A = this chain, B = another copy of it.
């Protein structure tokens, strides 16, 4: 696969889904799968699947389809699952705790190694086995623990200040659950998940 080729964001997302679906198929002892079968699992079109697999130069066989194990390993190679990337989470309110309890121990390659809050009642404690630091120490802890991805789950308005500190400490990727758009340099990735906006959009499209 050509390492120079830049793969679209949407494709990355779908590949990630394919891998999960394929893993389930593999554990059901399926060795080969056709594009239309994977399409049925993901609820996409088979053309979409083939186009996505083209991006990673994966070769299938018109008779048997795609080799499941092989496909999984190629997607994993692309998504870089072999390299561990440490995750930090800012805010251990309801949402932060829900994310922690879901994530901790689930993915070895994406461990949540630290949480941050400014409430002195939680700082110093462990939540779902994850140590909680003061948000004031975030820069140092990011460097110490080599954190590369930060999840923002604080309801506060000083999100931008914390974001700036993270960027200064070298963070290149954020997942933003707050209701404020984050200002970051061009090269930094931000995925916004603004639940209020999602509900409003859903309301709009509920006819």
Contact = CB atoms under 8 A, between A and B. Distances in A.
A102 B94 contact: yes
Please tell me how many copies of the chain the complex holds: 2
A121 interface: no
A114 to B, nearest CB: 15
23 contacts: A12-B204, A13-B201, A17-B181, A17-B197, A20-B179, A42-B181, A98-B98, A103-B199, A106-B196, A109-B203, A110-B199, A148-B206, A149-B203, A151-B199, A172-B206, A172-B207, A173-B205, A173-B206, A175-B199, A189-B202, A191-B198, A191-B202, A193-B198
Interface residues of A, number: 56
A82 to B, nearest CB: 12
A97 interface: yes
Contact of A197 (B16, B95, B172): B16
A200 interface: yes
